[in-house]
Structure formats: C-alpha cells, structure tokens
Amino acid sequence: PSIQPNPIGRSTTLEYELSSSERITITLVDLEGRTVETFLDGVLQAAGPQRIALEFSDTIAPGAYLLTISSAQGSASVQVVKE
C-alpha cells in the first residue's frame, strides 16, 4: 500500500491493489497495537487497483501510527505520521 501525503494532516489518499474480490477492513493502529480508528469494516471490494480518501478525526493525537489493510487473505501495513 502507499499513502499520500505522509505526514498526514486531516485527509490523505490510500492506494493498494487486490488480486481478487475481498472483504477489506482498514484500521489506524497506534504503536502499542490499539485500534484508534476504523475506516472500513468488512467492505467487499472488487479485484484491481483501489484508491480511498481517508478523513482523520481531530481527536487523533499527532504521532506515528500503522494504517492496516486486512482481509481473510492476510494484511499489510504502512507507517504514517499524523501532524
């Protein structure tokens, strides 16, 4: 996955590709493994390139996080910094 811009202000764009249709969950997790925000929860997405605009809550403290994309097939994470 890739994310632009990073560091993140209020919004960002996440891009990734799926090799087959999958139910996707996207979460923001702090470095201690706690879920801070869930952007998608089990949403069915078709195979192919994905581009999702994410809006970050004002209550999310500045700092380093992992943005995790997960499905039954596995997961991938990208480190992000919230300004």
Angle at 39 between CA 57 and CA 10, to 5 degrees: 30
pTM: 0.92
* pLDDT tens profile 27-65: 999 999 999 999 999 999 999 999 999 999 889 999 999
Q: Which two tokens stand for residue 48?
A: 């192919």
For residues 3 and 44, the answer to whether their CB atoms sit within 8 Å is no
**Average pLDDT over the chain, rounded to whole?**
94
